[in-house]
Structure 1
Amino acid sequence: LLIAIVSTVRGEPSATAFGRRVKHELVYRALSVALIALVALFLVGFLLTLTTDVGFVDILFESVSALGTVGASTGITPQTDAIARIVLIGAMFAGRLGPLTLVLALAARSRPVSQRPAVESIRIG
């Protein structure tokens, strides 16, 4: 993603690194994984904030640790209720599967379409 950002800032039409061009599909996949992980982190942190009366930094640490399946903890688990523990278990399971794998497994399979929508250029930024 950093390579794509640098290439965009430089005004290059595609992401290039070390004299090689990176496929657009790989950039989209990397962006998808990063955004899915950030949304999952936000969701887990938000749910833990609603159900637990613990500091935000501890909740953020537990959320990142659960999604990353790191195994590190600040020791707040005994202070949490059953709902927060279920959220953490779900986060650990989702982190073990991986964000892209989980979304692709849950997404409906689309059939190939013979017609494609027209391409439109929009302003960004």
Structure 2
Amino acid sequence: MDPKNGGLNILKAEVKSRSGMTTAVINEARAALCANSGLPSPHALAFVADRSNEAGDTVLSNALDKALLMDGIRASQVSHMLFTFSGNDPLKLLKANLQSYAGPVPQHYVGLRVEGHQDFIKAVFAAIGTGGK
């Protein structure tokens, strides 16, 4: 919710994780962000509205429900985030994708690189399996 005017702002995100990030994977993420004319799907909005209501955030839940049922969502309310997690440096790939985007929705890109991507993921799951210790 916008603290100034109380309006609804939405971040539509797509996350991709690969040991080696490629143009094809980033293009897949771009296609997902551009789906539904760049707007979040009604299913995603309903899901977030339900989780917000369960968490006690009735203001957000009601605003999402109202947008779904009456007002709709406009591109001016939406921003996109493309987040990548990989073992290689995705900077050039992300820049190329961003430069090729010509739509109306503001874009945010984050590329997180972790050397030993697969080992890192295995270690995280191993820690979770032991109660996070």
Structure 1 length-normalised TM:
0.29
Greater strand share, 1 or 2? Answer: 2
Greater helix share, 1 or 2? Answer: 1
Larger relative contact order (Cα-Cα within 8 Å, sequence gap ≥ 6): 2
Q: Which has the larger radius of gyration?
A: 1
